Structure 1
Amino acid sequence: MLKLSINDETSRLRTVVLGVANSNGPTPSIQEAYDPKSLEHIRAGTYPKEEDMVVEMEAFNQIFEKYEVTVFRPEIIENYNQIFTRDIGFVIGDVFIKSNILPERVRELDAIQYVIDQIQPEKVVTPPEEVHIEGGDVMLWDDYVFIGTYKGSDYKDYITARTNRAGVQFIKELFPNKKVKEFDLIKSKIEARDNALHLDCCFQPVGKDKAIIYKRGFREEADYLFLVQLFGEENLFHITRKEMYSMCSNVFSIDTNVVVSEKKFSRLNKWLKKQGFIVEKIPYAEISKQEGLLRCSTLPLIRD
């Protein structure tokens, strides 16, 4: 049996589910796009090719091998996008929570059922239908659970609004001993440069006391200021609108001193090195065209 344990974003990783890009299916139609960045690349004819994404994911897998991390991969469903495992479930403490994802994506959960079967059944939670919550919006930090959400009255009109108020309430009730802090995010259906699809698109902790942040990803300045106060201005790396668009905050920590990053993130990578991190640089720019990057492709199950 798998003994789940996730209490933060950066402790030594032991076990993870990494997505797959094989048999990813044809380029979606404009109507099928889930997010504005994919839409942009579909229109421009620059949507990523399966073979390029397979190479990128294999580079990520090799880093996990290097650090002796146990890696599960989803069972391959023909012609189906299974890259972003972060969306389909997440772990808080020793509990696995299934996401109520977009109906078209439900089969992605079936593809990791063999992993879920290795978890004690009482530690697997399926939220009720009205609860919308995805792993990219959920971050653990000490006693905190940070949750990205969208509080606009037009929530239902936004395919980019993935976690609702009911989702936040559900986590509060499930983990009464945690401090649940929600963040209202900026959403756009048409401009990827102004769309924080998930919380990890505009914020992510690294190491023991540092974080990457994009100020304009938050609808309320108070939410941004809360994080500045919590981490300290000197511990934050502020990214630009262009860097947010490239998914600069969506790196992934294997340990408190090891960060996997996109090789083209030169400004960020330089800062990380200066802070004493080991930076494992890999190519991931093709996958980023679907508005997701390294954190989005992982579902951590066990950290020390």
Structure 2
Amino acid sequence: MFQIFYMLHLNVTDETSVLKAVVLGTAESCGPTPKPEEAYDPKSLEHILAGTYPLEKDMVLEMEGFAAVFKKHNVTVYRPEVLKDCNQIFSRDIAFVIGSKLILANILPDREKEIDAILHVLDKIPEESIIRPPEEVHVEGGDVMPWKDYIFIGTYTAKDYSEHITARTNKAAVDYISKQFPEKTIKSFELRKSKNAKENALHLDCCFQPIGKGKAILHKNGFLVEEEYQWLVDFFGEENIFEITADEMYQMFSNVFSISPEVIVSEKSFVRLNIWLKEQGFIVEEIAYSEISKQEGLLRCSTLPLIRE
């Protein structure tokens, strides 16, 4: 019997249009608890030192709950090939889609093999639709948000960039994406990087995310430049902003995920946010994801949207 081979026609122009296909990471065989010196971010380090780092079985259960929501909403879900003792939860880090192009991220060297684990997906994408930036371009998908005529990019451009393991997207990335998408308006935001997990904005989606109905979730202290924060407030309108506290940023309140303009997947413990979302008319799919959040990532971080309507 002949196998029918089809290509994926990528399309992502914003964060909220109806989702049709996505890569969801996997927590299977994610390896033992890292040593403190192996931590990629301050929140993971905090839990490693406290003995509260999440267990694989709990994270697998949480991700299956996320997959079930996608199934409920008729989304085609791809999963990475499982690599032994490799943390593959955060698929947003390794690649992202803007328009009809997939950009492979130049991520931390230790994580390069995660890209190999989605080759079965990349093989379905036309070669001309895949972009690999040059080595000097550092970028991760959590810092990049297509938003209609705009591309929002979180960055860190201070001289001590190389000293921060939490600095993931550099000025070269902003310039590169600007050249690749000249028809878009690029708006970059300097993020606060810190060894203190309650102050650190690892990616842009850790302190900001646009959602449907012209609304957005935002945390002021995640931004180094107040004028850039204020630009977002003015862009969406103060009445449309859900401003989160420092503790709520730490819990990852801004890292929810939109399946459509009306449907948002959120952590069930985000009570204040979930009540507000429902008051705004959203359908909120509440799931357990608090163990995964201990690694300073949540729902948006776990996804790589490929096609939105």
Q: TM-score, normalised by structure 1?
A: 0.99
Residues 224-266 of structure 1 show CA distances to partners (whole Å, capped at 9, x for unaligned) of: 0100110000000000000000000000000000000000000
Match of 2:232 in 1: 227
- 3-state DSSP class of the match of 1:57? helix
Match of 2:23 in 1: 17
- 3-state DSSP class of the match of 1:194? coil
Of 153, 164, 182, 1:158 maps to: 164
Residues 82-125 of structure 1 show CA distances to partners (whole Å, capped at 9, x for unaligned) of: 00000000000000000000000000000001101100000100
Match of 1:201 in 2: 206
Match of 1:51 in 2: 57
Residue 152 of structure 1: how far off its partner (Å) = 1.2
Q: Decide whether the 8 Å contact of 1:95 with 1:125 is kept in 2.
A: yes
Of 222, 233, 248, 1:243 maps to: 248
Instruction: Provide the C-alpha distance between the structure 1 equivalents of 2:59 and 2:147, rounded to a whole number of angstroms.
Output: 31
Runs of 5+ unmatched residues, structure 1:
none
- 3-state DSSP class of the match of 1:140? strand
Of 247, 252, 257, 2:257 maps to: 252
> Matched residue pairs, number?
303
Of 84, 98, 115, 1:92 maps to: 98
Residue 141 of structure 1: how far off its partner (Å) = 1.1
Aligned: 1:274 with 2:293: no
Instruction: Could you list the structure 1 runs, at least 4 aligned residues long, displaced by more than 4 angstroms after superposition.
Output: none
Instruction: Provide the C-alpha distance between the structure 2 equivalents of 1:221 and 1:121, rounded to a whole number of angstroms.
Output: 41
- 3-state DSSP class of the match of 2:192? coil
Q: Decide whether the 8 Å contact of 1:10 with 1:208 is kept in 2.
A: no
Aligned: 1:216 with 2:226: no
- 3-state DSSP class of the match of 1:259? strand
- 3-state DSSP class of the match of 2:110? helix
Residues 5-46 of structure 1 show CA distances to partners (whole Å, capped at 9, x for unaligned) of: 000000000000000000010000000000000000000000
**Aligned-residue CA RMSD (Å):** 0.4
Instruction: Provide the C-alpha distance between the structure 2 equivalents of 1:23 and 1:9, rounded to a whole number of angstroms.
Output: 30
5 Å-filtered alignment, 1:53-202, equals 53-188=59-194, 190-202=195-207
Instruction: Provide the C-alpha distance between the structure 2 equivalents of 1:132 and 1:241, rounded to a whole number of angstroms.
Output: 27
Residues 195-232 of structure 1 show CA distances to partners (whole Å, capped at 9, x for unaligned) of: 00000000001103000000000000011010011000
- 3-state DSSP class of the match of 2:281? coil
Which amino acid letter does the alignment assign opposite residue 184 of structure 1?
E
Runs of 5+ unmatched residues, structure 2:
1-6
Which amino acid letter does the alignment assign opposite residue 212 of structure 1?
I
Aligned: 1:6 with 2:12: yes
Which amino acid letter does the alignment assign opposite residue 4 of structure 1?
L
Q: Decide whether the 8 Å contact of 1:186 with 1:217 is kept in 2.
A: yes
Match of 1:34 in 2: 40
Which amino acid letter does the alignment assign opposite residue 259 of structure 1?
I
